[in-house]
Structure 1
Amino acid sequence: MRPAARVQTAIELLDQIIVAAGSQGAPADRILAQWFKENRFAGSKDRRAIRELVYAAIRACGPVPKNGRAAMLRLAQMDESIALLFDGSQYGPRVLNPNEAAAEGGVAPAWLVEKLTKSEILGDDAAALLDRAPLDVRVNTLKADRATLTLEVESEPTAAPQGLRLLTGTQIEQSPEFREGKIEVQDTGSQLACLAVDAKPGETVVDLCAGAGGKTLALAAAMDNIGKLIACDTNRGRLSRLPARAERAGASNIETRLLNPGREMEELEDIAGQADAVLVDAPCSGTGTWRRNPEARWRLTDAELAKTIDLQAYIVDLAVQLLRPGGRLIYVTCSLLDEEGTDQMRAACERHHTLKPIRLVLPAGRERTGGVRLTPHHDGTDGFYIACAEKP
């Protein structure tokens, strides 16, 4: 494909992504994957170039663009080489009209920028939310150790005790270390969230929002496969991926439980008041993960955020019921909005007077009212809020 044709293709894909963002349709990566599957004429270099154009345009726009052309025009304002490709050539974008308006730049839609600012995410901290994310892995101590593991690719240690950072784009899942379960792809921030759980061999630990089990596997390694580790979720598809991952990792103390939304305690009644630690990796707005999913900031609405905050409080209340006296509640959210972090934990302690906040000391991050905040700019991780409270 000629460069101009790649730009026009990116514009057409952006049109689909913008529509999908407004209707909660397929995410950008799935839209791209489907187009590549249906258009085999596009070679590997074409696919790489189109992908880079699409994501660069998404990152360049703050509010939702009017259409894909407006988004690409915004990128063209920042890169003259792209502007030159609006030449009207065959399969390329039509010639630029001097009166055409490019999409607006910025970090996010105005209402979200206001909320980030109130949460003291501004300037470099805000801009870094749209950088490209690095590739981090966690060395699985059930099978290996960072001090002795040798990878064939370039890597450097991160702040997490078993974390390694690789070059972006490294095909690590093709490596023998990955296939043998010696390493897992996991952002350093997620690894530090698991470190905050302080799971010990012999304990009863509940991962209440386990998803596909990335954090569950880290907890199993911390427990050295000794004790009871219960991974729960309401999403059957995501939870069903955990058993195969656990087998590859050599994690043998994990029990999965599929929960019925609104009736979760039916599956948890037998462990009520028994858990030494409950990890609540809460559903959230995902403002801390925009480096990986930049179009997510176009999907979020104020109403959706309010529903998410209510759900977080509901899950925290479930977690409290599972704790034994002296048990630990670890609250984690990959959001940088105080409404989902410090405000949520403060409200939880007000609802449950038996909860006592515990000061966390982690290898990275800064204190943020009752917990620790990690940001891409300051810590090189995804954005997180991590807090812990004890039930005396």
Structure 2
Amino acid sequence: MTPAARVQTAIEILDAIAAAAREGGSSADRILSEAMRQRRYAGSKDRRAIRALVYDAIRTVRSAPPSGRAAMLTLADEQPDLAALFDGSPYGPAPIEAGEARGESGLAAPTLVALFDPLIGDEEAGAMLARAPVDLRANCIKAQQADLAAHFPDGEAIAGVADGWRLPPESAAVQHPAYADGQFEVQDAASQYAAAALDAAPAMRIVDLCAGGGGKALALASLTGDRSEILACDINRARLQQLAPRAERAGVTSITTRLLNPGQEADMLADWRGHAARVFVDAPCSGSGTWRRSPELRWRLTPSRLDKHVADQARLMDIGAEMVAPGGKLLYAVCSVIAREGRAQVDDFLNRHPGWTVDDNVLPPGIGRSAGAGFLLTPAHDGCDGFFLARLAAPC
């Protein structure tokens, strides 16, 4: 493909991503993968170049643009060499016309920025959209951090986690044989901090209420030496079904899964009510803390979607609280930097549940900042995804 043809292909993919963002459709990664599958003539260099163009444009434009061309023109305004490729050549984009529409550049719309936790300052803007590193977590059932260091000598230790190892952005870690052998998982440091903050121990009964594909449950199994009893739950069958093969690869036997029906979660967990020593509620959220990995999420967030997330988070916290045994702990976490999903959510929970208290010192020294009754992790301060967490203790 010519450089101009790569630009035109990126424009077409951006059209699909912008439409999906407005309509709540597929993720940018899925759309990009499908687009490349349909263009089998594109070589590996073409694919890498197109992917870079697409994500550079998404990082540059703060909200869903009127078209993929408008998004690419915004990027071209900052990259003169790119603008020269709008030359009208075969398979390339048409020349740029005076006054053509552009997308709006920046981190996010002012109305969205106003919702951020007060701890988010100007220094976070660049870090929230920078390319993220590839963080690995050693599976302690099969490996240790030293093994990851030997496999990936270009990496470095992650501060505050004994099993973490950080690689440069775009590192193809999952292609290493050690991944197929179950020696490690790809997991951002923020999620590793959150799993450790649950303070789980062998022989405990643990509920992972929003397990998704099982990353947190596997981290808990690793931390407890596969000697705890972990119930991983979710309402998404496709995501939950990913856990069994991942657990087999990791050599984990302590996890069982339970598919829940939306709105019936409490009834379907009646047998665990009051019996869990630890409950992890990594609730669905805006994903505003993960923009450096999924920058198109800025294009998807609307007031109504945020309201739904906040309502779901409160409901899931209440369900999780029912599972906690007297004196047990609930860890609430969201990959968000929006105050309504973080500190405000915990304040509301404490008002609804008299007798519950908040634990201090749940993170390694120097990691995170106090954010009301919880803690906020951010890319600039902590080198990880934006994340809010709070560990809540049930009355005895």
TM-score normalized by the length of structure 1: 0.97
* AA aligned opposite 1:50: I
* AA aligned opposite 1:8: Q
* AA aligned opposite 1:157: A
Instruction: Give the corresponding residue for 2:50.
Output: 50
Task: State the shift of 1:152 in Å.
Answer: 4.5
- 2: distance between equivalents of 1:148 and 1:183? 10
Uncovered stretches (5+) of structure 2, i.e. residues with no partner: none
Task: State the shift of 1:309 in Å.
Answer: 0.2
Helix, strand or coil at the partner of 2:269:
helix
* AA aligned opposite 1:184: E
Instruction: Give the corresponding residue for 2:373.
Output: 370
Contact 1:360/1:388, CA 8 A, preserved across alignment: no
Aligned length: 391
Q: Which moved more, 1:94-103 or 1:15-24?
A: 94-103
Counterparts of residues 163-312 of structure 1 (less than 5 Å): 163-312=164-313
Helix, strand or coil at the partner of 1:244:
helix
Q: Which moved more, 1:341-350 or 1:36-45?
A: 36-45
* AA aligned opposite 1:138: R
Uncovered stretches (5+) of structure 1, i.e. residues with no partner: none
Task: State the shift of 1:34 in Å.
Answer: 1.3
Task: State the shift of 1:247 in Å.
Answer: 1.2
- The CA RMSD measured in Å over matched residues stands at 1.3
* AA aligned opposite 1:390: A
Change (3 A) 1:148 1:35: closer
Instruction: Give the corresponding residue for 2:104.
Output: 104
Instruction: Give the corresponding residue for 1:383.
Output: 386
Helix, strand or coil at the partner of 1:115:
coil
Task: State the shift of 1:101 in Å.
Answer: 3.3
- 1: distance between equivalents of 2:326 and 2:99? 67
Contact 1:77/1:83, CA 8 A, preserved across alignment: yes
Instruction: Give the corresponding residue for 1:142.
Output: 141
Contact 2:21/2:296, CA 8 A, preserved across alignment: yes
Q: Which moved more, 1:63-72 or 1:323-332?
A: 63-72
- 1: distance between equivalents of 2:387 and 2:82? 35
Instruction: Give the corresponding residue for 1:358.
Output: 359
Task: State the shift of 1:102 in Å.
Answer: 2.2
Helix, strand or coil at the partner of 2:151:
coil
Task: State the shift of 1:182 in Å.
Answer: 1.0
Superposed CA deviations along residues 234-290 of structure 1, whole A, max 9, x for unmatched, are 111111111111111111111111111111123211111111110000110000011
Superposed CA deviations along residues 303-329 of structure 1, whole A, max 9, x for unmatched, are 110011000000000011111110001
- 2: distance between equivalents of 1:87 and 1:265? 60
Contact 2:10/2:50, CA 8 A, preserved across alignment: yes
Counterparts of residues 18-167 of structure 1 (less than 5 Å): 18-116=18-116, 119-149=118-148, 150-159=150-159, 160-167=161-168
Contact 1:74/1:104, CA 8 A, preserved across alignment: yes
Contact 1:63/1:110, CA 8 A, preserved across alignment: no
Contact 1:109/1:298, CA 8 A, preserved across alignment: no
* AA aligned opposite 2:382: D
Helix, strand or coil at the partner of 2:58:
helix
Contact 2:362/2:391, CA 8 A, preserved across alignment: no
* AA aligned opposite 1:121: I
Helix, strand or coil at the partner of 2:114:
helix
Helix, strand or coil at the partner of 2:392:
strand
Helix, strand or coil at the partner of 1:331:
strand
Contact 1:196/1:360, CA 8 A, preserved across alignment: no
Superposed CA deviations along residues 334-378 of structure 1, whole A, max 9, x for unmatched, are 000110000001110110002111113412111111111111111
- 1: distance between equivalents of 2:64 and 2:110? 10
* AA aligned opposite 2:237: R
TM-score normalized by the length of structure 2: 0.96
- 1: distance between equivalents of 2:362 and 2:329? 15
Task: State the shift of 1:170 in Å.
Answer: 2.1
- 1: distance between equivalents of 2:263 and 2:141? 35
Task: State the shift of 1:161 in Å.
Answer: 1.7
Change (3 A) 1:177 1:66: same
- 1: distance between equivalents of 2:16 and 2:183? 39
Task: State the shift of 1:174 in Å.
Answer: 1.9
Task: State the shift of 1:120 in Å.
Answer: 3.8
- 2: distance between equivalents of 1:148 and 1:141? 10
- 1: distance between equivalents of 2:5 and 2:272? 59
Task: State the shift of 1:18 in Å.
Answer: 1.0
Task: State the shift of 1:10 in Å.
Answer: 1.1
Superposed CA deviations along residues 149-206 of structure 1, whole A, max 9, x for unmatched, are 5215521100222100012222211212111111111001100000100110011111
Task: State the shift of 1:126 in Å.
Answer: 2.5
After TM superposition, which residue ranges in structure 1, 4 or more long, deviate above 4 angstroms? none
- 2: distance between equivalents of 1:294 and 1:204? 36
Q: Which moved more, 1:147-156 or 1:82-91?
A: 147-156
Contact 2:119/2:371, CA 8 A, preserved across alignment: no
